[in-house]
């Protein structure tokens, strides 16, 4: 007689990037082990791969690798809430006084921070508008071997996130063009457009939460946690 296979309930989550409702199942002991191995590696690449694998295992009819990174971080947080507990307890040291601090966090209070000046559309001139897409976890993994402080890394991320360019009577998708053609297009852009592309990345939605506290000097402080890695302290 075979051991029974446990059915897991599905739940719905709204994707922060689009508002689309998607279905997930809670993660299991198998996925918990994948996360632990990724976190214990203390390697950002391994953590990205583990996050993608776990979310992909739990998603229904969606490829986690194609999702924006902030969507993926948000989904993993929701999975943690449904699979383990929505309460997270952790300790840190105050950066000024070095006193130990204990915090309790309700995952349900954590939201994606939106910048009201953020836009995926960049007007090049009176005729053309450039449309960008958010970098996915697949993009980040592909570029992971490049140094983070190398200007070429930022440039490659920009190129990867070019979606399409449109006018009143035509739409051109960058995926239909060769790298050399895209390179020539980028080199012909005015600096003002490049600055707007940079602003797009600087103002992208992000997983962020603030915890206010007083240190032992009676000073008001704010502890900021950003990105999925910070929520699994």
Neighbouring-strand partners of residue 14: 21
Return averaged pLDDT per consecutive 10 residues of the chain, 233 residues in all. Answer: 84 93 94 88 80 93 91 93 90 86 89 92 95 90 68 81 95 95 93 93 92 88 77 49
Tokens of 142: 């592909």
Query: 146, 152 in Cβ contact below 8 A?
Result: yes
Q: Determine the Cα–Cα distance for residues 202 and 21; give it in Å rounded to an integer.
A: 26
Beta strands 220-226 and 121-123, pairing class: unpaired
Residue keyed to tokens 């999975």 = 79
Tokens of 30: 């198998």
Q: Give the pLDDT score at 151.
A: 64
Q: Determine the Cα–Cα distance for residues 157 and 145; give it in Å rounded to an integer.
A: 13
Every domain of the chain and the residues it spans: 11-112+206-230, 123-202
Cα distances (angstroms) measured from residue 227 to each of 69, 72, 221: 9, 10, 20
Q: Give the pLDDT score at 233.
A: 46
Q: Determine the Cα–Cα distance for residues 164 and 177; give it in Å rounded to an integer.
A: 11
CA 110 to chain centre: 14
Query: 208, 113 in Cβ contact below 8 A?
Result: yes
Q: Give the pLDDT score at 146.
A: 62
Query: 47, 55 in Cβ contact below 8 A?
Result: no
């Amino acid at each position: 007689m075979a051991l029974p296979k446990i059915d897991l309930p599905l739940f719905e989550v709204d994707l922060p990037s689009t508002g689309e409702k998607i279905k997930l199942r809670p993660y299991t002991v198998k996925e918990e082990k994948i996360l632990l191995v990724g976190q214990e590696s203390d390697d950002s690449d391994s953590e990205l791969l583990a996050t993608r694998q776990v979310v992909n295992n739990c998603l229904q009819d969606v490829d986690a690798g194609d999702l924006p990174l902030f969507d993926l971080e948000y989904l993993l947080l929701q999975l943690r809430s449904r699979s383990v507990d929505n309460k997270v307890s952790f300790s840190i040291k105050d950066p000024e006084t070095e006193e130990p601090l204990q915090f309790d966090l309700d995952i349900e209070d954590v939201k994606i921070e939106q910048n009201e000046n953020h836009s995926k559309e960049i007007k090049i001139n009176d005729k053309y508008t450039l449309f960008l897409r958010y970098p996915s976890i697949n993009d980040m993994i592909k570029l992971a071997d490049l140094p983070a402080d190398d200007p070429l890394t930022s440039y490659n991320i920009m190129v990867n996130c070019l979606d399409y360019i449109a006018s009143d009577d035509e739409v051109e998708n960058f995926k239909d063009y060769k790298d050399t053609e895209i390179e020539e297009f980028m080199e012909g852009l005015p600096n003002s457009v490049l600055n707007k592309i940079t602003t797009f990345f600087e103002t992208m939605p992000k997983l962020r939460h603030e915890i206010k506290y007083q240190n032992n000097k009676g000073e008001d402080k704010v502890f900021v946690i950003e990105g999925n890695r910070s929520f699994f302290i």
